Structure 1
Amino acid sequence: MRPALSPTSLVAAAAAALIALPLALPSAATAADRGRTYEVATWGSDRSGGSAQHPLRTISRCAELVGPGDSCLIHRGTYREQITPPAGREDAPITFAAYGDGTVTVDGTETLSGWKDAGDGLVAVRTGLPLDASENALFLDGERAMEGRWPNSGTDPLNPTWAVAEKTSTDQHIDDPDLPAGDFTGATVHLWAGSNPWSQQTGTVTSTTAGALDFKGGNYRCDPLCMGDKAFRNYYLVGARAALDQPGEWYYDKAGGTLYLVPPKGGMNGHTVTAKHRAWGVDLSHSSYVTVRGLDLWGTSLRTGNDSTGVLVEDLNARYVSEYSTLPMPADDELAIEPGEGHIVVARILDSGIQLLGTGNTLRDSEIGYSAGTGVLVRGSGNTVTNTYIHDVGWMGSYTPGIEINGSDHTVTHNTVRRTGRGSIDVSWQLNGVPFHNNTIAYNDLSEAMRTSRDGSPFYVCCNLDATGTSVDHNVVHDHDGQVGYYIDNSSGNFLLHHNVAYNTGTRGTFFNGHSGVSLGNRDHNSSYGQGITGASVRLSGATDATGTYVSNIVGMTKTEISGPGDPGPVVRSNLLPPTEPGYTDIRNGELWLRGDSPAVDAGETVDGVTTGVRGAGPDQGAYEYGDAIWSAGCNLDGCVSRVRNDGWTAAAAASDGTDASAAVDGVQTTQWKTAAVQTPGQSLTVDLGAPKTVGRLVLDAGLDATGHPSGFTVSTSGDGKKWGAPVAEVSGRSFAQEAVFPPATVRYLRITLTAPGDTEWGVNEIRLYADGPDATTTLQAEQATDVRGVTRGDAATGLLRSGDRIGFRKVQFGAGADRLTVRVAAPGRGATGVLQVRLDSPKGRIVGVLPVRATGGADTWQEQSAKLLHTVTGAHDVYVVAAGGAKTAAVDWLTFRK
């Protein structure tokens, strides 16, 4: 949420907003083209004229009044309505913008009241919910409420609790002695089952008996996506009154127009319930040349249309954009290829998420969180998604990714995509068709993907695509539970991959899968592969013809693997592979740039259009050119950087277990610690961070293990490893990566304790920690600064800072303290060029460090320079690096704080 401004700031904020609006217009626009500015406020009236003194009450009324060149300035408040703007013109767009006096929320829900006792511990209210029954959503006191389900699950939809069917189950029948008595007829059964379930599916329960049920649905594809005597037999039930048994669960009887709810303990007094009423809070499907700036969305979404052009959406903060409980087969007219049963995998892609359809539209500088399906759909041609943070999406487990790209000439850059049910970025040919031309997919950070699937990757494309002119470069994929980092599946061709990074991606870094077909013109150059890849850094298999496929200048910790190619085969050369050590800077934390003694320096071959900006005697192998600025991937908004640095953590199991637990914290996701005995309540694992760190989220990752994750655990913290307070988090559910979220605290020790029994050993592949902001001991990349003034920044560094210029980072976590600063700078001139001041909490805040900068020999000659801080800095602070005392002080690549 954006903080409200103080009253003394309102005039300045309004003036700034008014001044900013005409800047979107051409300089030659006349005063008439700039149009009229209307104001909207919750205290206004739609019968007024929309002036500052007499604002309108609703945004939709403003949408009725505006024409080309006009603007709607919207004051703080919640607006429960749908906005359907008209079209502007290219030379006179229409603008809808937050006024600047606090958060403006377009809310897709309506409040429900008049709850009455309904017996059986339930309350009910008569209401007509307008959406399809499968798309309803309920919020209790501002939090997503769970539709009644069995078995019960926690609040995190990406950490579900699954029931497991018996092996005697068949295609449309489930045997499970744990299934409770009750009538589940008509409920939705959600299936994640089969020998290799690369997608989930749903069906409808047709009958239930004690310990068994029959259902109809799914796609009947056996094998690998069906119930039976398979490796995966997971399911749950949702949408039945019989499942209501814990506070907050709900069930909607559409035929009777009645909503049932298990009330919170103590009853409904003091609690607020809202239900979703509008799928599209901002509907631009028939609009062009419209700017939407600074709005929040809650329980609703935004879309453009197939004919939209010139739409700009920026500074959008969207929460709970899409909700649904079924995965229907896509309609035939939604498919770009012939209909088939297997296409159920693309269910809901086209009716979920923020949707950027049409031509020449842009989404930037935004945060999109919490969607049952897609985070952002990009479809059409020439659209842009940049500097956007997308997280907690795709929990229904079809091919709905963080970003779905359909069409050609799109630009998808500098985005952070985290915590997705399946892929982070996906291209599905069922919807896209074969042409995928001239797309740029670059500088994206993709992590914590594949939460509800195993066969896939953060970057996944399928199938038979022609990617002529498309470049996938300077991306980082890491820390996910699939099998591959970059997956070019089923005969797709002409993909150019270069300068990408992958670590902790499972079996492979990049996989070109010919799948008994061709793999034509696929290339991977100058990529770096780290630890947590057990098979091949790059694999090509099953290609009958690999003409034009070419792998060079890669650096990996595992071999390349070429199996089954036809004639001709691929070109594979000039790569640095085992047994040669790569010479990475910090493998454990994914810093795969080269040390000066790396054998990859100057060892690469020249590749036209790829090996640019060469330093030294020749191109380097790998993704980072030694001596150049270090590029980074991802966005520069709050939340984009939050991983806590692992600088040598240790772990110990409970004394009763006695096993070596070091694999749980070694930074390698493909190594695993397991208990000596099956899971029992009280088993514990204690992690020593070596020094106090500020943490607020713990991930317990079981990798690809289908059995090792616990059914429940608590997390406790300690400063000394001896005194432990009450648990700060309690987690249920059995997903492969389980999370505990708790109030941020500075601690040195964490203890994970099991709370439920299990029939297998407890397995942990890796423990990861996150904070509300970057760890001060990490490498803080200058181009990811959240505040910049007076200086440009590129993909790898800032320009030269002059006196008064600055970069800033929000919520930097210092933990127990740091007393030394190191900055990688480039400074032209001779001798001293100025100083870099470190200030806390504001650009004019307290100075805690001063780094006198010495000339490095040029504006692109980089050198690490360090200084002792004036005193030890602890806690969490906004940090500003301010140039002083020099006309051209230095360019900044990165900085870090250490003890």
Structure 2
Amino acid sequence: MRRLRHLSVLAAVTALLALPVQGQAQAQTQTASLGRTYHVAPWGSENAHGSAQRPLRTIGDCLSRVRPGDTCLIHRGTYREQVNPPSGTKDAPITVAAYGDGPVTVDGTEPVTGWKDAGGGLVAAETDLPLALDFNAVFLDGDRAAEGRWPNSGPDPLNTTWAEADATSTDQHVDDTDLPDADWTGATMHLWAGSNPWAQQTGTVTAAAPGKLDFKGGTYRCPPLCMGNQNYRNYYLVGSKVALDQPGEWYYDKTARRLYMVPPKDGIAGHTVTAKHRLWGVDLSGSSYVTVRGLNLWGTSLRTGEDSTGVTVDRLRATYISEFSTLPMPPDSDLAIPPFEGHIVASRILDSGVQILGTGNTLKNSEISRSAGNGVLLRGTGNTVTNNYIHDVGWMGSYTPGIEINGNGHTITHNTVRRTGRASIDTAWQLNGTEFPDNRIAYNDLSEAMRTSRDGSPFYVCCSLNGTGTSIDHNTSHDADGQVGFYVDNYSGYFKLHHNVAWNTGARGTFFNGHTGPSIANEDHNSSYGVGINGNSVLLSGATDASGSYISNIIGPRPISATQAGDPLPVVRSNLISEQPGYKDAVNGELWLTAGSPAIDAGEPIDGITTDVRGAGPDQGAYEYGAPIWSTGCDLPGCQQRVRHGTWTATASDGTVASAATDGDLNTRWTAASPQSPGQFLTVDLGEAKTFGRLSLDAGRDTSGQPYGFSVAVSRDGTHWSEPLARVSGRSFTQDAVFPRQTTARYLKITLTASGPVPWVVNDLRLYGDGPDSATTLQAERATVVRGVRHGTAATGVLGSGDWLGFRAVNLAGDRLTVRAASSCARTCSLHLRLDAPDGPLLGVVPVRGGGDGKWQEQSVRLKREVTGSHDLYLVAEGGRRVAALDWLTIRP
């Protein structure tokens, strides 16, 4: 399987997450005064002293010796062991850190060898996999190998392929004329089915006949969640040897302790197979006051415990952290709410993800990716999750999100959460209970959520929760396949939302769902909603009691509505409903105001919310005109990927008008003129050359119009086309074409390669690159590296001469630099744009001189030449002790 390079950003992240040797040496000097420092290296020995010259061989050797205040410095290499640090103390923590001479990987897998021919085109190896059968994972040549399944799917589990049962199916029974004739008894049935299937379920096949299956499982609650003659009848089968039919697929016979595999086309010789052996590569469940820094995890995860405190996990890079193939009902012992059938949605939340449990623990500056379940599980009190990149998680389709939050007093800020099966951020009341006080969820960027479902949102909390003291503010939610940007569901109350931004989220921006019950004292203030919302900007509906609810200072394209029930009645006022509110660039999510906007000074004062007023009164919307533009998400490599949408056009081979495919609005749709057949195509003109590595074809909430197969070719001139750079099959709601490398082109051609019974549809096309697009607004506070100033929530501090900030791996195509800066420089000062290094080639100089008022001003200059390709960019201050503070910059043609 080809690894999704655009999502892992391997080289850049490895460089960032591993401290340089110089930095590690400094850390060693600083910790030496507190305790002893031991070195660990694969070339060490068990009887060594642990010095740099005579290192220990395993991390376990080191941890058996450390005492509070000691440090284990781990040299480059792969360590196939479970790391169980003892506790330090508050004043003398124990540190386990990468030395900085290369990647340090704690590997949860073990090699599988001794492969022999097993007949029928299979090979097999005798091996004892110690995990529960449905937690097994196998890797082929360093990539996830798929468990044998029908129908076959591609390598990306978030681009899954479903079978569709015939309408004659009934509860716990499937009729499907396409089902291969085989003995499927004992296979796992995975289904996404019902009238409105808001979660997925699994069961076990109990009988099979040609074109028929009986199965037992799920919640037996039909509708909405079971098979039968429903709107949705999607399923697939895994866990059966008869499903093995394509290279890399595997099946494990636990009774015989034998692993079967379809070998690669050139045979198994020369290939490496490993299988998962350890759920927790770093197990801190019994530890407190430990710092873990700069480690990589592969095929395993990390957890703290309910009693852990003072643990810091910094610069972790964890890949393929959790795998499972079934979704059982959570045991009653795990539930905070009396059990009932609907609790199936909480399946595997407590079994998966990087787990930060306990009190006062921190996960920061880390990349967490590729999980069947959670990205991060957060439980307890007063923990912090900040500046992390979390992606490609939750593909099994339960309510496992990018970040699952249980407990109170947590801080979840500046995280980028992308490509999740359901929500980006979620709270499961079944496990949390109804009390959810004093949590801060802010400055997070949530996108590409709801890849395996529909009834949900990037931000989702449920049910009957009391959110007193909890603030959801300054978050962005966009480009998601659910129904809402921010969703407070089923009887929950006392949630305060403000200064949030949503676009391309379906029917609504924010939804407070009373659902025939109370929705008390929920608030939304100063939020901005953009394109791709076709129902309500904000909706509070179905409430029997909405007392104290308050919605104000909102900008949105669609009406705001609130159930008028309660005492006092909900307040809805001081809002601007307009499709032309004066946004900077609505299609690209730049929902800040421009001069002349009717929202300027048109808001009402709200205690604790409108705190940075500039002008005669507060502005409506999320951004105060004249103030620095705050940003969301992390500042690690990979956190900025979406290519700026310009004046894109599309031409269809059948002559239909295809403008809806490229207008940047998720709710508009192009539909082909006839059922799918090979050779039908869309040609897309981007208007200018762009650099990208992935194309997303989004069919919105449609369930039948996805292409059954397509390829993507590119061209610089619209005449000479490349060979197909990506081929995609399957029928997932949003399909991703991943290219083998970054590509620069102006034109794309999407060509169907398979037939289908209905016309194909496209609601939205999006492009993503390895690194930010310089044509987008590069926010200064999201610079990858800085010197002389600190990151803030908006803009930088004042740069002095010689200070700089840098953006790694920016995709460039332009010759005009624009900066927004505020200067009080009394003489001639300037900002120098340099390529690849702070002292690299000079591309342009922006003179800055303040007028004493410190106002933010935009200024543009032509560069010395047009710059293209991927480069590091540095903006260096020159000319004085206080040159300028920087808000943002762009480079465009």
TM-score tier by shorter-chain length is over 0.9
Q: Is the 8 A contact 2:825 2:883 kept in 1?
A: no
**SS at the partner of 2:760?**
strand
**SS at the partner of 1:694?**
strand
Q: Residue 807 of structure 2 aligns with which residue?
A: 809
Q: Is residue 2:459 matched to residue 1:459?
A: yes
Q: Is residue 2:468 matched to residue 1:473?
A: no
Please state how far the C-alpha of 1:410 moved relative to its aligned partner. Answer: 0.0
Aligned positions of 1:49-448 closer than 5 A: 49-448=49-448
Please state how far the C-alpha of 1:844 moved relative to its aligned partner. Answer: 1.6
Q: Residue 735 of structure 1 aligns with which residue?
A: 732
Q: Quickly say closer, same or farther: Cα 1:494–1:181, change in 2 above 3 A.
A: same
CA distance in structure 2 between the aligned counterparts of 1:563 and 1:653, rounded to whole angstroms: 44
Deviations 1:516-570 (A, max 9, x none): 1111110000000001000000001111111110000000011112346455431
Which of 829, 832, 835 is equivalent to 1:840? 835
Q: Is the 8 A contact 1:530 1:592 kept in 2?
A: yes
CA distance in structure 2 between the aligned counterparts of 1:550 and 1:831, rounded to whole angstroms: 49
Which of 11, 23, 27 is equivalent to 1:20? 27
Q: Is the 8 A contact 2:795 2:885 kept in 1?
A: yes
Which consecutive aligned stretches of 4+ in structure 1 deviate over 4 angstroms post-superposition?
A: 2-6
One-letter amino acid of the counterpart of residue 55, structure 2? P
Which of 866, 891, 894 is equivalent to 2:885? 891
CA distance in structure 2 between the aligned counterparts of 1:698 and 1:450, rounded to whole angstroms: 17
**SS at the partner of 2:320?**
strand
One-letter amino acid of the counterpart of residue 747, structure 1? A
Q: Is residue 2:703 matched to residue 1:709?
A: no
Q: Is residue 2:692 matched to residue 1:698?
A: no
Q: Residue 603 of structure 1 aligns with which residue?
A: 602
Which of 669, 672, 675 is equivalent to 1:672? 669
Q: Is the 8 A contact 1:5 1:101 kept in 2?
A: no
Q: Is the 8 A contact 1:650 1:687 kept in 2?
A: yes
Q: Is the 8 A contact 2:581 2:597 kept in 1?
A: yes
Q: Is the 8 A contact 2:601 2:619 kept in 1?
A: yes
Q: Quickly say closer, same or farther: Cα 1:747–1:15, change in 2 above 3 A.
A: closer
Identity %, equivalent residues: 67
Q: Is the 8 A contact 2:663 2:764 kept in 1?
A: yes
One-letter amino acid of the counterpart of residue 845, structure 1? G
One-letter amino acid of the counterpart of residue 265, structure 2? K
Q: Residue 36 of structure 1 aligns with which residue?
A: 36
Deviations 1:617-671 (A, max 9, x none): 00000000000000001000011001111111111101xx110001001010000
Q: Is the 8 A contact 1:394 1:401 kept in 2?
A: yes
CA distance in structure 2 between the aligned counterparts of 1:290 and 1:849, rounded to whole angstroms: 46
Q: Is residue 2:871 matched to residue 1:873?
A: no
Q: Is the 8 A contact 1:84 1:284 kept in 2?
A: yes
Please state how far the C-alpha of 1:857 moved relative to its aligned partner. Answer: 3.4
Q: Is the 8 A contact 1:823 1:865 kept in 2?
A: yes
Q: Is the 8 A contact 1:541 1:565 kept in 2?
A: no
CA distance in structure 1 between the aligned counterparts of 2:135 and 2:853, rounded to whole angstroms: 59
CA distance in structure 1 between the aligned counterparts of 2:728 and 2:651, rounded to whole angstroms: 21
Q: Residue 622 of structure 1 aligns with which residue?
A: 621
Q: Residue 612 of structure 2 aligns with which residue?
A: 613
Q: Is the 8 A contact 2:546 2:563 kept in 1?
A: no
Q: Residue 724 of structure 1 aligns with which residue?
A: 721
TM-score (norm 1): 0.97
One-letter amino acid of the counterpart of residue 638, structure 2? G
Please state how far the C-alpha of 1:843 moved relative to its aligned partner. Answer: 1.5
CA distance in structure 2 between the aligned counterparts of 1:810 and 1:893, rounded to whole angstroms: 17
CA distance in structure 2 between the aligned counterparts of 1:615 and 1:153, rounded to whole angstroms: 54
Question: What RMSD over aligned residues (CA atoms) do the two structures have, in Å?
Answer: 1.4
CA distance in structure 1 between the aligned counterparts of 2:417 and 2:876, rounded to whole angstroms: 30
Q: Is the 8 A contact 2:635 2:783 kept in 1?
A: yes
Q: Is the 8 A contact 1:582 1:599 kept in 2?
A: yes
CA distance in structure 2 between the aligned counterparts of 1:67 and 1:508, rounded to whole angstroms: 54
CA distance in structure 1 between the aligned counterparts of 2:387 and 2:422, rounded to whole angstroms: 21
**SS at the partner of 1:464?**
coil
Deviations 1:288-333 (A, max 9, x none): 0000000000000000000000000010111000000000000101
Q: Residue 7 of structure 2 aligns with which residue?
A: none
Aligned positions of 1:435-834 closer than 5 A: 435-563=435-563, 565-566=565-566, 568-578=568-578, 581-654=580-653, 657-742=654-739, 743-814=741-812, 817-830=813-826, 832=828, 834=829
Q: Is the 8 A contact 1:493 1:519 kept in 2?
A: yes
Deviations 1:312-358 (A, max 9, x none): 00101110000000000001010001011110001000010000000
Q: Quickly say closer, same or farther: Cα 1:564–1:212, change in 2 above 3 A.
A: farther
Q: Residue 5 of structure 2 aligns with which residue?
A: none
CA distance in structure 2 between the aligned counterparts of 1:15 and 1:592, rounded to whole angstroms: 42
**SS at the partner of 2:766?**
strand
Range that drifts further, 625-634 or 45-54: 45-54
One-letter amino acid of the counterpart of residue 717, structure 1? V
CA distance in structure 2 between the aligned counterparts of 1:713 and 1:2, rounded to whole angstroms: 30
CA distance in structure 1 between the aligned counterparts of 2:802 and 2:149, rounded to whole angstroms: 58
CA distance in structure 2 between the aligned counterparts of 1:3 and 1:586, rounded to whole angstroms: 30
One-letter amino acid of the counterpart of residue 606, structure 1? P
Q: Is the 8 A contact 1:512 1:522 kept in 2?
A: yes
Range that drifts further, 562-571 or 864-873: 562-571
Q: Is the 8 A contact 1:3 1:103 kept in 2?
A: no
Please state how far the C-alpha of 1:858 moved relative to its aligned partner. Answer: 3.5
One-letter amino acid of the counterpart of residue 768, structure 2? Y
CA distance in structure 1 between the aligned counterparts of 2:331 and 2:495, rounded to whole angstroms: 29
One-letter amino acid of the counterpart of residue 797, structure 1? A
Unaligned runs of 5+ residues in structure 1 are 26-30
- Equivalent residue pairs, number: 881
Q: Residue 28 of structure 1 aligns with which residue?
A: none
Q: Is the 8 A contact 1:856 1:863 kept in 2?
A: no
CA distance in structure 2 between the aligned counterparts of 1:703 and 1:241, rounded to whole angstroms: 35
Q: Is the 8 A contact 1:163 1:235 kept in 2?
A: yes
Please state how far the C-alpha of 1:869 moved relative to its aligned partner. Answer: 1.0
Q: Is the 8 A contact 1:2 1:103 kept in 2?
A: no
CA distance in structure 2 between the aligned counterparts of 1:858 and 1:246, rounded to whole angstroms: 68
One-letter amino acid of the counterpart of residue 866, structure 2? T
Please state how far the C-alpha of 1:222 moved relative to its aligned partner. Answer: 1.0
Q: Is the 8 A contact 1:547 1:569 kept in 2?
A: yes
CA distance in structure 1 between the aligned counterparts of 2:108 and 2:643, rounded to whole angstroms: 35
CA distance in structure 2 between the aligned counterparts of 1:564 and 1:613, rounded to whole angstroms: 31
Please state how far the C-alpha of 1:875 moved relative to its aligned partner. Answer: 1.1
One-letter amino acid of the counterpart of residue 281, structure 1? G
Q: Residue 853 of structure 1 aligns with which residue?
A: 848
**SS at the partner of 1:608?**
coil
Q: Quickly say closer, same or farther: Cα 1:110–1:168, change in 2 above 3 A.
A: same
Please state how far the C-alpha of 1:5 moved relative to its aligned partner. Answer: 11
Please state how far the C-alpha of 1:730 moved relative to its aligned partner. Answer: 0.4
One-letter amino acid of the counterpart of residue 372, structure 1? A
One-letter amino acid of the counterpart of residue 810, structure 2? V
Q: Is the 8 A contact 2:825 2:880 kept in 1?
A: no
One-letter amino acid of the counterpart of residue 674, structure 2? A
CA distance in structure 1 between the aligned counterparts of 2:354 and 2:474, rounded to whole angstroms: 25
Please state how far the C-alpha of 1:724 moved relative to its aligned partner. Answer: 1.2
**SS at the partner of 2:208?**
strand
